[in-house]
């Protein structure tokens, strides 16, 4: 029996859901001090950089039919890949908790039932999405995405047409830092896009559609958050919905946007977990990730995620840079080794360089220079090493 593959349309829906996110709207509010024009430019530049990397990462998985963390083994070796799988599971559980926390906080601002209650509701729906399964979500996602699309248009109308531009505070963020914060969100999806493109009927087209759809929708979410702060003076998106009398509609935006995005984090935590524990079933690891994330959202405060985003960037930007060098330039596969020592050393150097560049104000952010330098180091080191053998 031929394996069921996902269509280009289904992949587009998956990444539409990933883009419609309360966390991205909240992050967009941080851009308000730049002003709308300058802030939007930073958002667009950052997403062009981040989504280009997202496309290349997804293409590796689509071509090889391997999950994201299995493709990592092609560059770092079978045991080297386990290291990144473990880091990826940790960051995905972290994302699951953050997204549930943000969604519950916003939902409770619209309909006060207790933040912990909304954490349980959202966590429960995420588990339901996991149990339905990525290949059976077509119709469910179509209905959810159509509803989110309409409700988000209403939110845009309230912010951009019913509000008026208010005085903004002096810049507290440089343009380069804003670009980097924009890059950080698509960058956070790098370690999992292949989990979905590997299942696509047409991997190249599906990967391109995934990256473009996510990029456009994510920019839109950033713009909503930035516009909310600039045109209404309100940084709490739940309060905007309350003031606009959106009621149940606003609640639906919050809950389902959180579920459709966070489902991907928990689902990929399961797939990455399979790379570490081959005997465990990914679906149940994903359910465990959702349960732990829900518990974390109830117990811990998670109001500022900027440091978390930068940490993800410093770990995974040089990782995917090594993969890009190996797959597209060197055509090299190290999955038969335990460790690819050169790749591991280059990653450490790339990680250190990222942390150093964070202190330098670069107009295009520090991800692009770091990845370019890491690719060059990887290609040079492996060619020199090959010549000495």
pLDDT at 137 over 70: no
Residue 370: its pLDDT value, please?
Answer: 96
Residue 166: its pLDDT value, please?
Answer: 58
Average pLDDT over residues 146-164: 75
Neighbours of 247 (CB within 10 A): 12
Residue 163: its pLDDT value, please?
Answer: 61
Instruction: Give whole-number Cα distances, 71 to 1, 56, 78, 109, 322, in Å.
Output: 26, 12, 10, 42, 11
Residue 251: its pLDDT value, please?
Answer: 82
3-state secondary structure of 221: helix
Neighbours of 279 (CB within 10 A): 5
- Within 8 A by CB and 6+ apart from 79, the residues are 338, 339
Give the pLDDT confidence of 171-208 residue by residue, as tens digits.
577 899 899 889 988 988 888 899 889 989 999 999 99
Residue 136: its pLDDT value, please?
Answer: 65
Neighbours of 158 (CB within 10 A): 22
Could you give the CA distance from residue 182 to residue 163 in angstroms, rounded to a whole number?
25
For residues 139, 110, 229, 148, the Cα torsion angle rounded to the nearest 10 degrees is 10
- For residue 339, the cross-strand partners are none
Per the prediction, the chain carries an average pLDDT of: 87
Residue 389: its pLDDT value, please?
Answer: 47
Give the pLDDT confidence of 50-69 residue by residue, as tens digits.
999 999 999 999 999 998 88
Give the pLDDT confidence of 337-378 residue by residue, as tens digits.
999 999 999 999 999 999 999 888 888 889 999 999 999 999
pLDDT at 168 over 80: no
Q: Provide the pLDDT confidence category of residue 3 given band limits of 50, 70 and 90.
A: low
Residue 283: its pLDDT value, please?
Answer: 86
- Locus of tokens 């995905």: 92
Let me know the angle formed at the C-alpha of 93 by 91 and 99, rounded to the nearest 5 degrees.
100
More confident residue, 91 or 147: 91
Neighbours of 331 (CB within 10 A): 7
Let me know the angle formed at the C-alpha of 335 by 332 and 338, rounded to the nearest 5 degrees.
120
pLDDT at 328 over 90: yes
Q: What does the longest C-alpha to C-alpha distance in the chain come to? A: 70
Give the pLDDT confidence of 239-265 residue by residue, as tens digits.
777 766 677 777 877 888 788 778 888
Residue 1: its pLDDT value, please?
Answer: 44
Average pLDDT over residues 306-321: 89
Residue 185: its pLDDT value, please?
Answer: 87
Residue 388: its pLDDT value, please?
Answer: 57
Residue 306: its pLDDT value, please?
Answer: 79
Q: Provide the pLDDT confidence category of residue 132 given band limits of 50, 70 and 90.
A: confident
Residue 324: its pLDDT value, please?
Answer: 95
């Amino acid at each position: 029996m031929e394996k069921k593959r996902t269509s280009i349309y289904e992949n587009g829906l998956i990444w539409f859901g990933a883009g419609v996110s309360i966390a991205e709207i909240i992050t967009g509010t941080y851009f308000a001090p730049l002003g709308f024009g300058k802030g939007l430019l930073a958002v667009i530049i950052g997403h062009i950089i981040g989504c280009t990397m997202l496309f290349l990462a997804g293409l590796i998985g689509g071509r090889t039919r391997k999950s994201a963390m299995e493709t990592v083994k092609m560059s770092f070796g079978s045991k080297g890949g386990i290291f990144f799988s473990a880091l990826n599971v940790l960051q995905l559980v972290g994302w699951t908790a953050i997204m549930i926390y943000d969604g519950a906080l916003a939902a409770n601002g619209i309909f006060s039932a207790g933040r912990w209650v909304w954490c349980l509701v959202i966590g429960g729906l995420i588990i339901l999405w996991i149990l339905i399964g990525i290949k059976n979500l077509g119709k469910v996602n179509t209905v959810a995405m159509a509803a989110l699309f309409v409700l988000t248009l209403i939110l845009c109308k309230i912010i951009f047409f019913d509000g008026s531009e208010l005085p903004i505070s002096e810049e507290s963020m440089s343009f380069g830092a804003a670009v980097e914060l924009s890059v950080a969100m698509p960058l956070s999806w790098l370690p999992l896009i292949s989990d979905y493109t590997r299942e696509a009927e047409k991997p190249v087209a599906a990967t391109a559609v995934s990256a473009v759809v996510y990029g456009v929708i994510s920019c839109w979410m950033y713009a909503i958050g930035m516009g909310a702060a600039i045109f209404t003076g309100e940084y709490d998106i739940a309060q905007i919905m309350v003031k606009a009398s959106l009621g149940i509609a606003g609640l639906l935006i919050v809950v389902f946007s959180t579920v459709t995005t966070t489902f991907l984090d928990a689902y990929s935590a399961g797939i990455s977990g399979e790379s570490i524990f081959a005997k465990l079933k990914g679906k149940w690891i994903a359910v465990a990730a959702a349960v732990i994330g829900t518990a974390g959202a109830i117990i811990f405060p998670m109001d500022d995620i900027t440091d978390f985003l930068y940490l993800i960037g410093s770990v995974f930007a040089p990782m995917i840079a090594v993969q890009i060098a190996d797959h597209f330039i060197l055509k090299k596969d190290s999955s038969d080794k335990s460790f690819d020592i050169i790749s591991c050393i280059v990653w450490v150097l790339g990680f250190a360089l990222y942390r150093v560049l964070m202190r330098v104000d670069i107009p295009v952010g520090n991800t692009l220079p770091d990845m370019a330098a890491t690719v060059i180091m990887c290609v040079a080191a492996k060619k020199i090493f090959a010549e000495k053998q």
